[in-house]
């Protein structure tokens, strides 16, 4: 059944818009002020997490996943769905950044970026790309222990990416929350579409 996914996605989408309207053109509020104390520690690990959300790493992982599908004679539609979903979600994020027009923090510790702050594209990537692979893994025919271990790693990595954006001063916490909300809404919609149609995301591998 796909309606629970669609319902969950709709709730996340509503919360995403509500949060964006609250933070879009207002000074940082109470949830964001303490983020200043989070900036700085564990910069090394934070850079590793944040680099995994940039295009270079994502491109390498995408090509590797497609090549692996060919080599293993697995459905190529699975990695293609995850990759295309990631690309389209980032295009949507870039458009939404302009809509909400929130200025970025001014305390950069790594790789200064242009553009607006809400929602965090990295947080969206954490859910759509890494969370997309979690969905694929969880619905695979791999042993339960392998699926559980992989799910823990992917969840930890997705959370680490969001954490890294705050530590490095690239985003406010509410930007990251907004990115997670939008990414979850997007992933729910894609998964529901796949499950109700070709089943490409939830097909056993």
Contact 23, 118 (CB under 8 A): yes
Q: How much is the average pLDDT of 108-133? A: 93
Q: How much is the average pLDDT of 55-77? A: 92
Contact 172, 166 (CB under 8 A): yes
- Higher pLDDT residue, 33 or 19? 19
Q: How much is the average pLDDT of 133-138? A: 94
Residue 109 to residue 87: CA distance in whole angstroms: 26
Mean pLDDT check: name the lowest of 40-49, 75-84, 113-122, 190-199: 190-199
User: 69: exposed, middle or buried (C-beta count within 10 Å: 0-12, 13-18, 19+)?
Assistant: middle
- Higher pLDDT residue, 113 or 52? 52
Closest to 14 (Cα-Cα) out of 199, 178, 147: 178
Q: What is the pLDDT of residue 205?
A: 44
Question: Is the per-residue pLDDT at 165 higher than 80?
Answer: yes
**Annotated domain spans of the chain:** 3-19+50-196
- Higher pLDDT residue, 92 or 204? 92
Q: How much is the average pLDDT of 43-61? A: 96
Other C-beta atoms within 10 Å of 100: how many? 21
Mean pLDDT of the chain: 89
Closest to 27 (Cα-Cα) out of 106, 108, 102: 102
Question: Is the per-residue pLDDT at 1 higher than 80?
Answer: no
Contact 172, 35 (CB under 8 A): yes
Q: What is the pLDDT of residue 153?
A: 97
Core vs surface per residue 167-179: b (16+ CB within 10 A) or e: bbbbbbbbbbbbb
Residue 89 to residue 99: CA distance in whole angstroms: 15
Q: What is the pLDDT of residue 20?
A: 95
Q: What is the pLDDT of residue 161?
A: 98
Residue 186 to residue 162: CA distance in whole angstroms: 17
Q: What is the pLDDT of residue 204?
A: 45
């Amino acid at each position: 059944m796909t309606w629970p996914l669609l319902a969950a996605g709709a709730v996340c989408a509503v919360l995403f818009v509500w949060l964006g309207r609250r933070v879009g053109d207002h000074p940082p509020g109470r949830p964001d002020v303490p983020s200043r104390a989070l900036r700085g520690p564990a910069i090394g690990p934070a850079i590793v997490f944040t680099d995994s959300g940039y295009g270079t790493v994502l491109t390498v992982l995408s090509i590797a996943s497609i090549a692996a599908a060919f080599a293993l004679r697995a459905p190529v539609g699975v990695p293609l769905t995850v990759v295309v979903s990631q690309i389209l979600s980032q295009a949507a994020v870039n458009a939404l950044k302009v809509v909400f027009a929130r200025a970025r923090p001014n305390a950069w510790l790594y790789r200064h970026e242009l553009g607006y702050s809400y929602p965090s594209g990295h947080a969206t990537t954490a859910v759509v790309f890494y969370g997309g692979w979690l969905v694929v893994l969880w619905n695979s025919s791999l042993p339960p222990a392998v699926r559980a271990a992989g799910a823990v790693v992917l969840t930890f990595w997705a959370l680490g990416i969001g954490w890294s954006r705050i530590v490095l001063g690239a985003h406010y916490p509410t930007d990251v929350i907004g990115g997670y909300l939008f990414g979850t809404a997007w992933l729910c919609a894609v998964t529901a579409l796949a499950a109700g149609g070709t089943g490409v995301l939830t097909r056993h591998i």
